[in-house]
Amino acid sequence: MIQQVAEVQDVLRSVFGFDSLRTGQDAVVDAIMAGRDALAIMPTGGGKSLCYQLPALCREGLTVVVSPLIALMKDQVDALQARGVPAAAVNSSLGTDEYRQVMAALRSGELRIIYVAPERFGQESFMNLLRSLQVGLLAIDEAHCLSQWGHDFRPDYLRLGRVRQELGYPQTMALTATATDTVRQDILNTLQLNNPAVIISGFGRDNLDFAITHCENRQAKFERIRQVIAKWRKGIIYCSTRKNVMTVFDEISGTGANAVAYHAGMTDEEREFSQNAFISGRADVVVATNAFGMGIDRSDVRFVLHFEIPGSVEAYYQEAGRAGRDGELSACELLFNHADLKTQEFFFEGSNPSVQTIRSVYNLLRSRCNSNGELQMTVDHMSAELGKEVNPMAVGTALSALIHAGAITRSDVPGSNTKLTRLTNPATPFAALPIDVQAIEEKARRDHQKIEAMTRYAYSVGCRQRWILDYFGETTAGDCGHCDVCNAEEPGDVEDIDGEDLVIVRKALAGVARASRRLADGSWQAIFGRAKIADMLRGSERAGLPPQLTRLSTYGLLSNMTGAKLRALFRAMQVGGLITTTGGELPLITLTAKGESVMKEQEPVRLTRRIWSSTAIKQVRTSTLKRRSERVLATMQLGRIDKALYEHLSELRRDLAAEYRMPVYRVLSTETLRALATIKPTTIEAASRLKGVGPWARQNVLRAFVELIQDYEQV
C-alpha cells in the first residue's frame, strides 16, 4: 500500500497556489488518494495534469507519466521545476549527456515525477530500471491513443497493458478529453484496470460559442477569417494540409495580422520558433496543421477556426477546446465547404489501405530484396512502382501493418534519406502472414463512420454544443443558448403550420420516409438525394430517375408543386429540423426523429411558408402599383441584391451540382447567380441574356432557376 506523506490541501496551496480543486478534479484526486485505479474524461483545459501531479507529491513512490507530446513534457517539467518539484522527461529530444543525467537522477530516487514517451517502454534497459524502482502511480495521458477506434491511435500505446503487468500492476490512471463509450471500454480492457473509478466531468464548455459557416469558395473563407481575427485577435487556425497552412498564412499576413505558421514539414528550429512565439504572446495567431496544439499552454486563445472539416468529431472538439482555457468567452468556428471532404477521404484511404494494397507492397518488397532479404527504397519510390491507383499515404500505412505483423523491419540508413527494409523471411507468402483482415476492415468501417459523423455535424441545424454532447453520450437538459443556431433570430415568416400546408408537409415527409431505409434501432438511413426525392414526389418521368422510386406509393403525391416550390419546402423542413442531410459530394436526405413525429401527426411544427405554401401562388399584394414601383426602385439601385432570393438560388445550384456531379461554378458562376438575384428575370429569354449563361445552362438548368424566381416573385 502506498503511504501518504503530505496533505492534499497543503500541497495544493503551497506548491500549486490553488485554494481548491475544480469540480471533476476533486473526484479524480480523491479516487487516486484512496488507492483506486481511475479513468478520467475531462474537457480540454479542465486541468487533467493536476490530477496526477498533486497525488504524486502527496504519496511516496515515483509517478510515471506517459505522454506522446514532447512539447507538453517540456512545458510541464519546466513548470514543476520552477515550483521546486524534482521532475524530468525521457524522450527523443534529449542529447546523450542529458539522457545520462536523467537516468542517474532516476536511479538515485531524486525524481518524484518522470514523463516518458510511449516508445521508450520498448527499450529493455529502461524497463529493467523501472522494475527496480517503486512506481507508485502510472498516469497515462491522451489515453484515447490506446484505442484503435480513437481518433489518434498510436501503436506504441498498445504495449502499455503489458508494461503495467511487468511493473506489477501499479495504481494506474488514464486521462483523456475525448472518448466515446467504445473508446472508454477499449482503454479499460487494454489496461486491465482494477475496479476503476470512471469520472466523466462533462464535455460541455459553457464559455465556447460554436458556429458553422458554409463557404462557397476559398475567398469566402479568407474573408471570414479576416472578420474573426478583427473581432477576436488571438487564436488558432487549423488546416488539413501543409499547403493550406502556407496559403492561409500568406493570405492573413498580407493584412497585417501578427501570425506564425506551424506544420510537420518545417525544421525543428522553425517549429520551435513558431510555438514559442505563440505561447509567449509575441504572435497573436498561429496557422497550423493538427500537429500543433496538444499540450500547448496558452490560456487566452480567443478563437479556434477550422479552415476545413477535420476527420472526426473527437479531433474537432479537442482542437476547438484549446480556446478559452481562461474561462473567458471564445469562438470555435468551422468554415465548411462540401468539397473539403475530398481531403478527408484521401486521408482515410491513406490510413486504411486495403488488404490488396498491403499484399502489393509486400510482394514488391519480396521481388526487389537481395539474397539477404534486404533493400533500400523510399516510400515515394514504392508508390511510383505500384502505380497512381495506390494512395501514397497508404503505402506507408501498409508498411506499418507489415511491421506489426512481424513480416519486416525498417531502420534508418546513416547519411541517406532512405530506410533499410529487412524481410523476416522472404520465402513466406503473403497468405501465411498473421494479418488480421477482420480488424483492418473494422477499422476502415469505424474511421469512415467518424467522417460521416463529422459531416452530419457540419450539416446539422440544431444547437451545436448539444449535438456534440449527444455524440459523446452525455445527456443534456437543453440547448446551450449561445451557439450560432441558438443565437440566430427566428425568421420573421416562421409560423405554425396547419390546414392544407400541414398536409403538404406530411406528404413530403412521407416521400422522404419511403425513399429511406428503416434501421433496426428505429432510425432512418438516407439512400437518395433531395433532387431525386423531389422528382419522385412530383411524379417526374425524367430519364435517370431510379425505377424503385417510381414504384413507391408516394410517387406523384405532390405533382401540383413546381420543382422550385418543392425545393423551398425541403429547405424549410431542413431548417425546421424535420429532415437531415448526410452532406458530402452527393448529399442524401432522410427523416429526423422530429420529422417522423410530424409525419405521424404526433407533433406540431413551425416553418417558413414563403414560396412553397398552398396559398403562395394566390397571394397578391394589396397594391399592384406599389409592387411595380418597388421593382422599378430595385432596378434603379444598381447592384442591390435580394439576399433572400440569392440564398434560394444558391441552394438550388448546390442541388443541381450534386445531381449533375459537377462543381457548383460549372452550373452557374457566382457572378451570374448574383445577377439573377438582382435583376430577377422571369422568362427563359430574359435570363439567357445574362453574362455567364451558356448553351449547357440554357438547355439543362436555366428553367429551374427561372421557375424559382417566378415563384419567389408571386409571393
pLDDT over threshold 80, residue 475: no
Label residue 7 exposed, middle or buried (CB < 10 Å: 0-12, 13-18, 19+): exposed
- Give the domains, in start order, of the chain with CATH numbers: 8-200 (3.40.50.300), 345-435 (1.10.10.10), 489-614 (1.10.10.10), 620-714 (1.10.150.80)
Specify the pairing of strand 113-116 against strand 62-66: parallel
pLDDT over threshold 90, residue 309: yes
Specify the pairing of strand 494-496 against strand 408-412: unpaired
pLDDT over threshold 80, residue 178: no
Check if the beta carbon of residue 458 is closer than 8 Å to that of residue 334.
Answer: yes
Return the pLDDT at 5.
Answer: 74
Which range has highest mean pLDDT (317-326, 365-374, 620-629)?
A: 365-374
Among 348-362, 604-618, 623-637, the range scoring the smallest mean pLDDT is: 623-637
Return the pLDDT at 634.
Answer: 37
Percent of the chain at pLDDT exceeding 70:
91
pLDDT over threshold 60, residue 586: no
User: Cβ of 627: how many Cβ atoms within 10 Å?
Assistant: 13
Return the pLDDT at 618.
Answer: 41
Looking from the CA of 259 toward its CB, the CA atoms found within 13 Å total 28
Instruction: Give one DSSP letter per residue of 369-385, joined into a string.
Output: --TTSEEE--HHHHHHH
303 vs 285: CA distance, rounded Å? 9
Which has more pLDDT, 73 or 113? 113
Among 86-100, 152-166, 212-226, 575-589, the range scoring the smallest mean pLDDT is: 575-589
Mean pLDDT, range 494-501, rounded to an integer: 87
Mean pLDDT, range 280-296, rounded to an integer: 85
Local structure of 305: helix, strand or coil: strand
Strand order across the 259-262 sheet: 208-214, 330-336, 303-306, 235-238, 285-288, 259-262
Among 86-90, 138-142, 209-213, 518-522, the range scoring the smallest mean pLDDT is: 518-522
Q: In angstroms, what CA-CA distances link 452 with 458, 459, 566?
A: 10, 11, 26
pLDDT over threshold 80, residue 660: no
Helix axes 643-660, 563-575, angle to 10 degrees: 100
529 DSSP assignment: B
Enclosing H/E stretch for 412: strand 408-412
Helix axes 437-458, 341-351, angle to 10 degrees: 170
Mean pLDDT, range 98-117, rounded to an integer: 94
Check if the beta carbon of residue 143 is closer than 8 Å to that of residue 101.
Answer: no
User: Cβ of 368: how many Cβ atoms within 10 Å?
Assistant: 14
pLDDT over threshold 60, residue 673: yes
Mean pLDDT, range 209-215, rounded to an integer: 91
Mean pLDDT, range 210-223, rounded to an integer: 90
Return the pLDDT at 611.
Answer: 65
Phi, psi of 261 (to 5 degrees): -115, 155
Mean pLDDT, range 154-183, rounded to an integer: 88
Q: How does residue 636 score in pLDDT terms, banded at 50, 70 and 90?
A: very low
Pick from 587, 586, 597, 583: which is nearest to 505 by CA? 597
Check if the beta carbon of residue 366 is closer than 8 Å to that of residue 414.
Answer: no
pLDDT over threshold 50, residue 375: yes
Which has more pLDDT, 75 or 306? 306
Mean pLDDT, range 151-166, rounded to an integer: 83
Mean pLDDT, range 312-326, rounded to an integer: 89
Q: In angstroms, what CA-CA distances link 466 with 241, 486, 587, 596?
A: 29, 10, 23, 20
Q: How does residue 148 score in pLDDT terms, banded at 50, 70 and 90?
A: low
Return the pLDDT at 627.
Answer: 39
Percent of the chain at pLDDT exceeding 90:
45
pLDDT over threshold 90, residue 713: no
pLDDT over threshold 70, residue 587: no
Per this entry, what is the length of the chain? Answer: 715
pLDDT over threshold 80, residue 214: yes
Phi, psi of 658 (to 5 degrees): -65, -40
Mean pLDDT, range 613-638, rounded to an integer: 41
644 vs 628: CA distance, rounded Å? 19
pLDDT over threshold 90, residue 167: yes
pLDDT over threshold 90, residue 509: yes
Among 81-90, 291-300, 650-659, the range scoring the smallest mean pLDDT is: 291-300
Which has more pLDDT, 461 or 229? 229
Strand order across the 408-412 sheet: 374-376, 419-423, 408-412
pLDDT over threshold 80, residue 328: yes
Local structure of 590: helix, strand or coil: strand
Residues sharing a CB contact under 8 Å with residue 667, sequence separation 6 or more, in sequence order? 653, 656, 657, 660, 697, 701
Angle at the Cα of 310 from the Cα atoms of 309 and 315, rounded to 5 degrees: 145
Give the chain's mean pLDDT: 86
Return the pLDDT at 149.
Answer: 61
**Distance between first and last Cα of the chain:** 78
From the DSSP assignment, how many helices (H) and strands (E) are in the chain? Answer: 31, 22
pLDDT over threshold 50, residue 625: no
Q: What is the dihedral of CA 565, 571, 576, 579, to 10 degrees?
A: 110
3 DSSP assignment: P
Instruction: Give one DSSP letter per residue of 417-450, joined into a string.
Output: SSEEEEES-TT--GGGS---HHHHHHHHHHHHHH
Which residue bears the cell 512545458? 75
Mean pLDDT, range 192-212, rounded to an integer: 87
pLDDT over threshold 70, residue 200: yes
Return the pLDDT at 150.
Answer: 59
Among 78-87, 367-376, 652-661, the range scoring the smallest mean pLDDT is: 652-661
Return the pLDDT at 284.
Answer: 95
174 vs 183: CA distance, rounded Å? 12
88 vs 104: CA distance, rounded Å? 11
Sign of the dihedral defined by the CA atoms of residues 90, 96, 100, 102, in that order: negative
